[in-house]
Amino acid sequence: MKTTITLLAAGFAVSAAHAQIEYTAQDRWVEIQAFFPTGTQSDSRAADGFGLFDETLSATLSDGAEGSAWAYAAQTSSLASNGISVTGAADGAAGPPVGMSAGVGRTSFMVGFTLTEAAAYTLDLDVMGEFASWSFQGPSLDIDRPLDFAVNEPGVHLTGTLDAGDYAFSIFLESGAAAQGLGSNFAFNFNLVPAPGAAGLLAMGALAATRRRR
């Protein structure tokens, strides 16, 4: 019994040493579209639950004599208790014949989450390509980048401490038009950093348990 109590105490100490992400909302999807004089063709996929979302759409869409268009969209996003990881890409092109059609790819990611206590974090975001918008908003970090041309946008690399409260991160990427698109992609990683000494507390708990067995 003494061994069990010691291990549980160590576990509680480690849990209290770093916050956990509690997800409250999401809107994650990819979409491809082709525009023709006679109408629009499209296909899309959306996440239906928290966790892993891994989807790729790629197709050549055509409308007979009105031409054809190619579109591509992809997203791999993972929601964990201690971090968020997302990569996305989009592209599109028209023709033949050019001028009769347009192909567009889109990838969109949004999650809302709560931190029940203050936590140290790292945030890395790199965006390249055509049009993109993104934001990270909450009590102690508020960044909002409206839709704009995103070629060679400098990466964002932040560290610090987030206060407890409600947060949301979103990013939208679009590429493609009547001519060959430039292609767009992004990579986002957000992680909570365990408090210093958390690993040490666990090791001390294990050591204490071992000694008690003796």
- pLDDT tens readout for residues 106-158: 999 999 999 999 999 999 999 988 889 999 999 999 999 987 876 667 789 99
Give the start-end residues of each E strand in the chain. Answer: 21-26, 29-36, 39-46, 52-62, 68-80, 83-94, 102-115, 119-128, 131-137, 142-149, 156-162, 165-175, 184-193
Cα separation, 34 vs 27, in Å, equals 23
pLDDT at 27 over 70: yes
Tokens found for residue 84: 């968020």
Q: pLDDT tens digits for 191-204?
A: 999 877 544 444 44
Distances (CA, A) of 16 to 80, 147, 199, 208: 18, 39, 12, 19
In the chain, where does DSSP find H-type helix?
A: 2-17, 198-213
d(C-alpha 158, C-alpha 19), whole Å: 18
The reported pLDDT for the residue numbered 200 is: 47
What share of the chain has pLDDT > 90, as a percent? 60
Strand partners, 170: 110, 135
Q: How far is CA 79 from CA 13, 45, 71, 172, 200, in A?
A: 24, 17, 27, 17, 26
For the chain, the farthest-separated pair of C-alpha atoms sits apart, in whole angstroms, at 84
Q: Please determine, for residue 33, whether its predicted confidence score (pLDDT) is greater than 70.
A: yes
Q: Residue 155: is it exposed, middle or buried by C-beta count within 10 angstroms (0-12/13-18/19+)?
A: exposed
How large is the average pLDDT for residues 36-65? 92
Residue type, 38: T
| Helices of type H across 158-197 | none
How many CB atoms neighbour CB 211 within 10 A? 10
Percent of the chain at pLDDT above 70?
79
Q: How confident is the model at residue 182 (pLDDT cuts 50, 70, 90)?
A: confident
For residues 77, 28, 24, 12, the Cα torsion angle rounded to the nearest 10 degrees is -10
For the chain, which residues make up each domain, given as ranges? 1-18+195-214, 19-193
Tokens 């931190």 locate to 115
